[in-house]
Amino acid sequence: MAEEKHKDEAADLHQRDINNPRDRDALKRAADDFLKSRKAEAKAEAAEDEAETEADPVAELQAENSELKDQLLRLAADMENLRKRTARDVQDAKAYAVTNFARDMLAVSDNLARALEAIPAEALEAGDTGLKALAEGVEMTERAMLSTLERHGVKKIEPEGQKFDPNFHQAMFEIPNADVPNNTVLQVVQAGYVIGDRVLRPALVGVSRGGPKQAAADAPAEPGPVNPQAEKDA
């Protein structure tokens, strides 16, 4: 419709005489109207193109909301991991705070045990009251010390008769014995201790050799090389 109107106006303008003042004014008005019309059309087309290319604000807000939600979830997960790690560190600090002190006290306990072993059994059987009182005092002191350590999470390892476990035992020598399964702990040279789920000190043991082998599924690792000096001391 607009094109037909423009065609009619163009045909009419061709009949105008530019030398005629009246026709000249008509031509000028027609040119101005044509320019205004083209500007309006161009502006409308630009607005339409801009509307088509402009991003949907709702979609933008939804995308931003989704991104913020993901960030919040990641932050919450990080905070939860930090909380668990902190709680675990605090728990470990409480459980293992006395580790070094307990290890030093084990040396004192060993000396008390050696003192008891050094007392001649004949002297005790002979009824030496002074020596007997001394032995009882040393024994009570050792028991009290071990009881105190146990209240702080330190427990004694009792490996005799068990399968050798390199995580808790240290093999010092081998004992030929065909009657028990291979790598069975037959003798404890020095008691071992654990604190919580950690080894405070491995038990020094003698293991059997020459007996039937442990079942493949249950067999522990082979004991390490025998310590010649420890075997000599034993």
d(CA 6, CA 4): 5
Total residue length of the chain: 234
Residue type, 159: P
Q: Is the pLDDT of residue 75 over 60?
A: yes
Inter-residue contact 116 to 138 (CB < 8 Å): yes
Helix (H, G, I), strand (E, B) or coil at 184: strand
d(CA 194, CA 190): 14
Q: Which residue has the tokens 């020459």?
A: 210
pLDDT in tens, 129-163: 888 888 899 999 999 999 999 998 999 998 999 99
Strand ranges of the sheet holding 185-190, from the earlier edge strand across to the other edge: 169-176, 203-209, 185-190
pLDDT in tens, 192-234: 999 988 999 999 999 999 877 765 544 445 444 444 344 444 3
Q: What is the residue-wise DSSP string for 18-65?
A: TTSHHHHHHHHHHHHHHHHHHHHHHHHHHHHHHHHHSPPHHHHHHHHH
Q: Is the pLDDT of residue 52 over 70?
A: no
166 to each of 135, 153, 219, 230, how far by Cα in Å? 35, 21, 11, 17
Q: What is the residue-wise DSSP string for 189-219?
A: EE-EEEETTEEEEPEEEEEEESSPPPPTTTP
User: By C-alpha distance, which of 187, 191, 181, 185 is closest to 216?
Assistant: 181
d(CA 123, CA 129): 9
pLDDT at 186: 94
Quote the mean pLDDT of the chain. Answer: 80
d(CA 132, CA 123): 8
Inter-residue contact 142 to 110 (CB < 8 Å): no
User: By C-alpha distance, which of 208, 159, 207 is closest to 179?
Assistant: 208
